[in-house]
């Protein structure tokens, strides 16, 4: 039976993962969160992991006092999260930490040869070749948890990699698929957080509204599936039933379908290469009635062009795309910039970046820090 550690256990993906773990009867050996002390305490008391970590040092000290007498070893700070990723008590690590903060723990798990259930797309966007090399060297398996990449991963079992013509990453279109571009300037954070089909965390919800989630997924797919950017397409599918598709050279298209529930790709990662009965209600196509598809509007959502651009450039450009977007989303959520400015900031920072073609980890981290500074001071 697999022993799993969940990084980002108090977020939407993390709590879904714990629901799946309980359903499958898996041992939860490690938990890590950023600052949600009370939520993590409840999870520790329920699942009794060997180790847990809270990245916020002050919250960690308070949690340690509250857990006095429990057997769970508590680690604090970012190094504590990496301890959970590396700990010998687990053989599968689910990384659901959002953003660049997940890179260090993901690399640590890959270096230790653990099965890596990857819900953090930013690690591959920032440092795809470095992560893949670490996994090859240790024998670690990487199983994607993003619904789109899980769908491609599953569909690819229907043919050889060399038989793939292209893949289609589906996108719901977010809350503004039908909103005229002229109205983007008046969009508020509250409106951007209201996703029509998925329940997700704040950052991911904003990325869906701007379609920067697809931009990041384009770069992720390039590294994960060894594809040319020209083989990666994005198609709008509002029902969020078809999670992605693979087209093979003979014209056959294999799609992975299911209700929009993250528990399905999480469970596939937990049981891979096998399957088990799930706890998600089955798909009722008669009730869905229709599935529709359309091309994305690249004028309304220039984020997609930036994703293909980053995938073509390679090197440190993925780290710059991700970092600039993280800062722009933060500024928008604080109401310091308008919604359209997110696109402009990311584009401008990418325009100013001199790509390092074959970066080491220090190059990636340097590009990340540079892009964050540039995004916060766009006129410098």
The per-residue b/e assignment along 170-180, b for 16 or more CB within 10 angstroms, e otherwise, is bbbbbbbbebe
257 contact partners, CB below 8 Å, separation of at least 6: 241, 242, 243, 283
What's residue 202's pLDDT?
A: 77
Q: Which secondary-structure segment (H or E) carries 45? A: helix 37-47
- Distance of alpha carbon 53 from alpha carbon 82, whole angstroms: 9
Q: What's the CA angle centered on 334, arms 330 and 339, to 5 degrees? A: 70
Average of pLDDT values for 255-278?
A: 96
pLDDT-above-90 percentage for the chain: 89
What's residue 380's pLDDT?
A: 45
The answer to whether the bond into 369 is cis (omega within 30° of 0) is: no
The per-residue b/e assignment along 104-140, b for 16 or more CB within 10 angstroms, e otherwise, is bbbbbbbbbebbbbbbbbbbbbbbbebbbebbeeeeb
Three-state DSSP class for residue 299: coil
Residue 194: pLDDT band with limits 50, 70, 90: confident
Average of pLDDT values for 313-342?
A: 97
What's residue 198's pLDDT?
A: 62
Query: Which residues on adjacent β-strands are paired with residue 118?
Result: 95, 144
CB 371 within 8 A of CB 324: yes
Residue 197: pLDDT band with limits 50, 70, 90: low
What's residue 204's pLDDT?
A: 84
Q: What tokens were used for 9?
A: 């256990």
What's residue 249's pLDDT?
A: 97
Which residue reads 């904003």 in tokens?
206
What are the phi and psi torsion angles at 90 (to 5°)? -120, 145
What's residue 199's pLDDT?
A: 59
Q: Quote the longest CA-to-CA distance of the chain.
A: 62
97-112 pLDDT tens trace: 988 889 999 999 999 9
Q: What tokens were used for 301?
A: 């959502």
- Distance of alpha carbon 13 from alpha carbon 238, whole angstroms: 21
For the chain, domains (ranges, CATH) are: 3-144 (3.40.50.720), 149-260+284-313 (no CATH)
Alpha-carbon distance values, 343 to 47, 147, 209, 306, 375 (Å): 42, 24, 12, 9, 11
Measured from the Cβ of residue 185, the count of other Cβ atoms closer than 10 Å reads 10
139-174 pLDDT tens trace: 999 999 999 999 999 999 999 999 999 999 999 999
248-262 pLDDT tens trace: 999 999 999 999 999
Average of pLDDT values for 128-149?
A: 97
Query: Which residues on adjacent β-strands are paired with residue 6?
Result: 31, 94
Residue 200: pLDDT band with limits 50, 70, 90: low
16-54 pLDDT tens trace: 999 999 999 999 999 999 989 999 999 999 999 999 999
Least confident of 65-69, 146-150, 264-268, 314-318: 65-69
Average of pLDDT values for 227-245?
A: 97
Q: What tokens were used for 271?
A: 């049981």
What's residue 153's pLDDT?
A: 98
Q: What tokens were used for 226?
A: 């060894």
User: What pTM value is reported for the model?
Assistant: 0.94
Q: What is the mean pLDDT of the chain?
A: 94
What's residue 160's pLDDT?
A: 92
What's residue 95's pLDDT?
A: 95
């Amino acid at each position: 039976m697999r022993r799993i550690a969940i990084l980002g256990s108090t977020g939407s993906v993390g709590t879904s993962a714990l629901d799946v773990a309980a359903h499958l009867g898996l041992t939860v050996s490690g938990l890590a969160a950023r600052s949600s002390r009370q939520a993590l305490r409840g999870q520790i008391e329920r699942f009794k992991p060997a180790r847990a970590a809270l990245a916020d040092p002050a919250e960690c000290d308070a949690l340690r006092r509250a857990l006095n007498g429990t057997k769970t070893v508590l680690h604090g700070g970012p190094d504590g999260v990496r301890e959970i990723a590396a700990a010998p008590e687990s053989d599968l690590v689910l990384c659901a930490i959002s953003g660049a903060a997940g890179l260090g723990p993901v690399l640590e798990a890959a270096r230790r040869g653990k099965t890596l259930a990857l819900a953090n797309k930013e690690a591959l966007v920032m440092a795809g070749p470095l992560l893949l090399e670490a996994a090859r060297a240790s024998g670690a398996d990487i199983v994607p948890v993003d619904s789109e990449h899980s769908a491609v991963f599953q569909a690819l079992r229907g043919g050889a990699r060399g038989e793939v013509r292209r893949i289609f990453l589906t996108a719901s279109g977010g809350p503004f698929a039908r909103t005229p571009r002229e109205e983007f300037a008046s969009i508020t954070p509250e409106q951007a957080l209201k996703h029509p089909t998925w329940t997700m965390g704040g950052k991911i919800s904003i990325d869906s509204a701007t379609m920067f989630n697809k931009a990041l997924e384009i770069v992720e797919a390039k590294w994960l599936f060894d594809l040319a950017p020209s083989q990666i397409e994005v198609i709008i599918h509002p029902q969020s039933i078809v999670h992605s598709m693979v087209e093979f050279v003979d014209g056959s298209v294999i799609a992975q379908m299911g209700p929009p529930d993250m528990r399905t790709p999480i469970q596939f990662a937990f049981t891979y290469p096998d399957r088990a009965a799930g706890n998600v209600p089955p798909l009722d196509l008669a009730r869905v009635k229709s599935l529709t598809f359309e091309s994305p509007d690249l004028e309304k959502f220039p984020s997609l062009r930036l994703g293909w651009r980053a995938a073509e450039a390679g090197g440190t450009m993925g780290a710059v795309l991700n970092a600039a977007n993280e800062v722009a989303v933060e500024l928008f959520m604080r109401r310091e910039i308008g919604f359209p400015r997110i696109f402009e900031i990311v584009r401008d920072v990418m325009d100013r970046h001199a790509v390092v073609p074959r970066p080491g980890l220090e190059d990636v981290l340097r590009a990340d820090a540079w892009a964050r500074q540039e995004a916060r001071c766009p006129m410098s």
